[in-house]
């Protein structure tokens, strides 16, 4: 059998890592698909947590779920998610301008520790109708964050 020359990244799930011959191939994008409640976010946080355990920098990009809810959802697992950085890019209603039929979205860019995620002004903003985050604004915010910090593992949740 030929030796695998790819650098592997452990998922933190031993059975999966065994099937994948050590984990996911580093530097490649992956899509985790499934129905609501199937464990996509939990798997993604586990993947990031494993990287943190190995001394890697990990970033979770939160598009749909407030960071405070995410923190509460993984608390029951007993994970110390404080070293996972979270980029909160959900657009708010106060951050856009309407020009004729065009809506310019200026989503908030907020980076912090998942442990410190709060529901401060976010709860009020979510009560208002907010426009969708454009792929261009997401790309711009993500590019800026990745230029500032070199991450080994990045998860974007979710792209639907």
pLDDT tens for residues 105-150? 444 556 666 666 554 544 444 444 345 677 888 888 889 999 999 9
The confidence score (pLDDT) of residue 112 equals: 65
Q: Which residue has the higher pLDDT, 100 or 15?
A: 15
Report yes or no on 31 lying in a domain.
no
Q: How far is CA 104 from the centre of its chain?
A: 23
Report yes or no on 125 lying in a domain.
yes
Mean pLDDT, the chain, whole residue set = 77
Report yes or no on 72 lying in a domain.
yes
Domain encompassing residue 138 = 56-157
Number of domains in the chain: 1
Report yes or no on 36 lying in a domain.
no
Q: In the chain, what percentage of residues exceed pLDDT 90? A: 41
Four-residue CA torsion sign, 41, 72, 129, 89:
negative
Report yes or no on 28 lying in a domain.
no
The confidence score (pLDDT) of residue 14 equals: 95
Question: What value does the mean pLDDT take over residues 55-68?
Answer: 87
* Strands in the chain per DSSP E: 8-9, 24-25, 58-62, 84-88, 96-99, 102-105, 110-113, 153-157
Report yes or no on 1 lying in a domain.
no
Closest to 81 measured CA to CA, from 39, 45, 54: 45
The confidence score (pLDDT) of residue 67 equals: 79
Report yes or no on 11 lying in a domain.
no
Pairing of strands 102-105, 96-99: antiparallel
Q: What is the pLDDT of residues 22-36, one digit of tens each?
A: 999 999 999 999 998
Report the distance separating Cα 103 and Cα 137, nearest Å: 12
Report yes or no on 49 lying in a domain.
no
- Record the pTM: 0.72
* Radius of gyration, CA atoms only, the chain: 17
């Amino acid at each position: 059998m030929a030796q695998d020359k790819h650098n592997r990244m452990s998922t933190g799930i031993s059975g999966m890592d065994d099937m994948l011959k050590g984990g996911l191939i580093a530097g490649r994008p992956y899509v985790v698909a499934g129905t609501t409640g199937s464990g996509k976010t939990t798997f993604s946080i586990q993947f990031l947590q494993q990287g943190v355990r190995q001394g890697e920098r990990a970033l979770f990009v939160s598009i749909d779920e407030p960071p405070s809810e995410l923190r509460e959802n993984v608390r029951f697992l007993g994970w110390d998610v404080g070293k996972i950085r979270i980029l909160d890019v959900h657009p708010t209603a106060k951050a856009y301008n309407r020009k004729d039929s065009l809506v310019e979205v200026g989503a908030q860019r907020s980076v912090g520790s998942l442990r410190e995620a709060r529901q401060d002004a976010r709860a009020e903003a979510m009560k208002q109708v907010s426009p969708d985050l454009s792929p261009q604004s997401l790309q711009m915010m993500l590019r800026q964050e990745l230029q500032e910090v070199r991450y080994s593992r990045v998860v974007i949740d979710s792209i639907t």
